[in-house]
Amino acid sequence: MEAEERSEPAGAEYVLHLYITGATPNSTRAVRNIKDICEQYLKGRYELLIMDIYQQPELAQREQLIGAPTLIKRSPGLVRRLVGDLSDRERVLKALGIISPLADSSTGHEGA
């Protein structure tokens, strides 16, 4: 799988790097999930770069990846890392700052 970039003409508000390991089921799910989230919530405001650490193993070391797939939000705000297939949409949206972490009360979950 080759690196894929989506840039917006006015400059992306969100800069996301997704590190995957080939065409494994988890990597495939992560790509699909982040693309769905970006198109639904960030349309026209993001740049997504997908890199395969099987093809570029030096990236894993340089980025100090502890697992894959890993999504790194470079901007806006603080750098955030998410490891996994990104199927927990609410967690991904919170990490990206799209929804407030205080939105937990709507899920009915009490603090554990």
Which CATH number goes with the domain that contains 68? 3.40.30.10
Q: Helix, strand, or coil here: 33? A: helix
pLDDT of 4: 46
Residues in the chain: 112
In a domain, residue 70? The reply is yes
For residues 6 and 11, what is the distance between their CA atoms, to the nearest angstrom? 11
Under 8 Å between Cβ of 89 and 30: no
**Residue 87 lies in domain:** 4-96
In a domain, 53, yes or no: yes
| pLDDT at residue 19 in the model | 98
Q: Specify if 41 maps to a domain.
A: yes
| pLDDT on residue 95 | 92
Instruction: Please indicate, yes or no, if residue 20 is contained in any of the structural domains.
Output: yes
Confirm whether 49 is domain-assigned: yes
Residue 85 in any domain: the answer is yes
Q: Tell me the CA distances in angstroms from 97 to 14, 57, 67, 91, 102, one per residue in order.
A: 10, 29, 22, 10, 11
Number of domains present in the structure of the chain? 1
Tell me the per-residue pLDDT of 25-63, one tens digit each, with 9 for 90 and over.
999 999 999 999 999 999 999 999 999 999 999 999 999
Per-residue pLDDT at 18: 98
Q: What are the tens digits of pLDDT across the range 53-103?
A: 999 999 999 999 999 999 999 999 999 999 999 999 999 999 999 887 665
